[in-house]
């Protein structure tokens, strides 16, 4: 049985493993241990408590996290974290938090943080069109900052850091929405990581937050319960009705990562192989396809590129869609083409796309 006819190269929600989709299909009719549809099981049931616990345990073991970290499954998307982080760590602070502005999504976090306290944007790639990322020598890191915030993978521009930034004595906060669990990430060097599920680990509706215990020791006590990490921790991510479906599918993807893929190092190898296929196709096209990101900063998740002119890009996209490639149009903020190649998209899907790209170039140039 083939559940999908198009290959999902969209910026998100991304593809999910076929084995997970088949399992979910059965569970929507009936989860055998419960005798009910997945969509009607109470969030207060023992079954769901076990789902939350196993999801947390799997994320903990995939990332190698110690007992001093909490794993939360929250709502509100990554966007809510743009506010929850500064509400918790910046209110009433004298010293500014340090932020990097490396692309569209890190830019979206800035105005939300400014509502809560002082911030210092220590590096911006805006003037140069967000085509590259900074070296360490370009970052004036302060020991007094309440925290440093950055985005590990800029989804729109296809820029990805290959190292952990910042000082060990200042809490690191990272938006990993578009590369979470796609490779090992030295998670214990971060005080807080957030990532929505819908790129690499599940459907939309749930956002994973990994937070170190001592980051929260001076958090304000007058936050709304829903936006208070400590109350969410106490409630085991079950403060109000959580998205049971999204969390359950995320559990199945973490099982797939652990047992079928074999862990994050193996996932990384697969992701590297997929990205290499696309970048080679771009680099060997003699300038027909032009990559957006500077070569050392190229993302393994989002491959953004352009063609000679918008007319040709339109033709490329129309033919790609007709050939069964879904979601290749670049983000509305950037235009061009973007092939997003998250965890569950197979190497063979990428091979099919690179063959199409070569064929399109051949047909267009002759
Ligand atoms: C890196 C990054 N951060 C934040 C967001 C916003 O996420 P959400 O729509 O879950 O609020 C996105 C969306 O694609 C993203 O790619």
Here the tokens at position 98 are: 């340090």
What is the CATH number for 157? 3.40.640.10
Asked whether residue 289 is domain-assigned, the answer is: yes
Residue with tokens 């004595």: 169
2 is an active site residue: no
Here the tokens at position 5 are: 């006819």
Boundary residue ending a domain (211, 244, 261): 261
98, β-bridge pairs:
120, 148
User: CA 135 to CA 138: how far, in whole Å?
Assistant: 6
Per the structure, the count of domains in the chain is 2
Asked whether residue 206 is domain-assigned, the answer is: yes
User: CA 98 to CA 118: how far, in whole Å?
Assistant: 9
Give yes or no: residues 74 and 216 share one domain: yes
User: CA 71 to CA 62: how far, in whole Å?
Assistant: 12
Predicted pLDDT of residue 365 = 82
Give yes or no: residues 135 and 95 share one domain: yes
Here the tokens at position 233 are: 């921790």
Give yes or no: residues 132 and 241 share one domain: yes
Which alpha helices (DSSP H) does 95-205 contain, by range? Answer: 104-114
**DSSP string covering 325-346, please?**
EES-BPPTTT-SEEEE--TTS-
Atom 5 of ligand 1, residue of closest alpha carbon: 78
Residue to mutate (ligand 1; options 133, 155, 179, 299; most atoms within 8 A of CB)? 155
User: CA 14 to CA 21: how far, in whole Å?
Assistant: 13
User: CA 127 to CA 19: how far, in whole Å?
Assistant: 44
Asked whether residue 7 is domain-assigned, the answer is: no
Boundary residue ending a domain (233, 261, 289): 261
Give yes or no: residues 272 and 350 share one domain: yes
Asked whether residue 119 is domain-assigned, the answer is: yes
Measure the N-to-C terminal CA separation of the chain; round to a whole number of Å.
39
Torsion of CA 98, 101, 104, 106, to 10 degrees: -20
Give yes or no: residues 318 and 169 share one domain: no
Torsion sign (Cα): 7, 9, 14, 16: positive
Predicted pLDDT of residue 5 = 74
Give yes or no: residues 168 and 226 share one domain: yes
Asked whether residue 9 is domain-assigned, the answer is: no
Task: Determine which one of 27, 123, 175, 274 is catalytic.
Answer: 175
Whole-number average pLDDT of the chain: 97
Give yes or no: residues 50 and 136 share one domain: yes
Give yes or no: residues 213 and 169 share one domain: yes
Buried b (16+ CB within 10 A) or exposed e, 85-107: bbbbbbeebeebbbbbbbbbbbb
Predicted pLDDT of residue 366 = 72
**Over the stretch 157-185, which tens digit does the pLDDT of each residue have?**
999 999 999 999 999 999 999 999 999 99
Asked whether residue 60 is domain-assigned, the answer is: yes
Give yes or no: residues 205 and 276 share one domain: no
Give yes or no: residues 229 and 301 share one domain: no
pTM for the structure as a whole:
0.98
What is the CATH number for 349? 3.90.1150.10
Predicted pLDDT of residue 3 = 47
Give yes or no: residues 209 and 177 share one domain: yes
Give yes or no: residues 128 and 201 share one domain: yes
**Over the stretch 121-152, which tens digit does the pLDDT of each residue have?**
999 999 999 999 999 999 999 999 999 999 99
Residue 46 Cα to ligand 1 midpoint, Å, equals 32
Boundary residue ending a domain (216, 235, 261): 261
Task: Determine which one of 105, 123, 228, 274 is catalytic.
Answer: 105
Q: Whats the size of the chain, residue-wise? A: 366
Q: Which domain holds residue 324?
A: 262-365
The low-confidence residues of the chain, meaning pLDDT below 70, are: 1-4
- Atom of ligand 1 lying closest to residue 207 CA: 10
């Amino acid at each position: 049985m083939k559940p999908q006819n198009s290959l999902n190269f969209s910026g998100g929600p991304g593809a999910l493993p076929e084995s997970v989709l088949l399992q979910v299909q059965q569970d929507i009719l009936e989860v055998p241990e419960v005798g009910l549809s997945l969509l009607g099981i109470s969030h207060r049931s023992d079954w769901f408590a076990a789902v939350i616990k196993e999801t947390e345990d799997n994320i903990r073991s995939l990332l190698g996290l110690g007992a001093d970290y909490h794993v939360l499954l929250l709502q509100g998307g990554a966007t809510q974290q743009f506010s929850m982080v500064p509400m918790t760590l910046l209110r009433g602070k004298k010293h500014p938090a340090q932020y990097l502005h490396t692309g569209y999504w890190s830019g979206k976090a800035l105005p939300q943080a400014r509502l809560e306290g002082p911030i210092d944007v220590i590096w911006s790639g805006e003037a140069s069109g967000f085509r590259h990322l900074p070296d360490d020598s370009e970052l004036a890191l302060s020991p007094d900052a309440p925290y440093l915030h950055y985005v590990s993978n800029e989804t729109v521009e296809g820029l990805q850091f290959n190292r952990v930034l910042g000082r060990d004595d200042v809490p690191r906060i990272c938006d990993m929405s578009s590369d979470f669990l796609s490779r090992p990430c030295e998670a214990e060097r971060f005080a807080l990581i957030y990532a929505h599920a819908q790129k690499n680990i599940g459907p939309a509706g749930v956002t994973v937050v990994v937070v170190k215990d001592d980051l929260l020791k001076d958090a304000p006590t007058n936050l709304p319960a829903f936006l208070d990490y400590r109350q969410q921790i106490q409630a085991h991510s079950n403060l109000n009705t959580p998205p049971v479906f999204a969390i359950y599918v995320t559990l199945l993807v973490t099982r797939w990562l652990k047992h079928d893929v074999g862990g994050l190092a193996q996932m990384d190898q697969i992701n590297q192989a997929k990205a290499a296929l696309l970048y080679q196709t771009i680099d060997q096209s003699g300038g027909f396809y032009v990559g957006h990101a500077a070569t050392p900063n190229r993302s393994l998740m989002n491959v953004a590129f352009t063609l000679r002119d918008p007319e040709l890009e339109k033709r490329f996209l129309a033919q790609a869609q007709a050939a069964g490639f879904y979601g290749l149009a670049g983000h509305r903020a950037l235009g061009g083409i973007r092939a997003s190649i998250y965890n569950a998209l197979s190497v063979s899907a990428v091979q099919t796309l690179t063959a199409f790209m070569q064929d399109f170039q051949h047909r267009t140039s002759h």
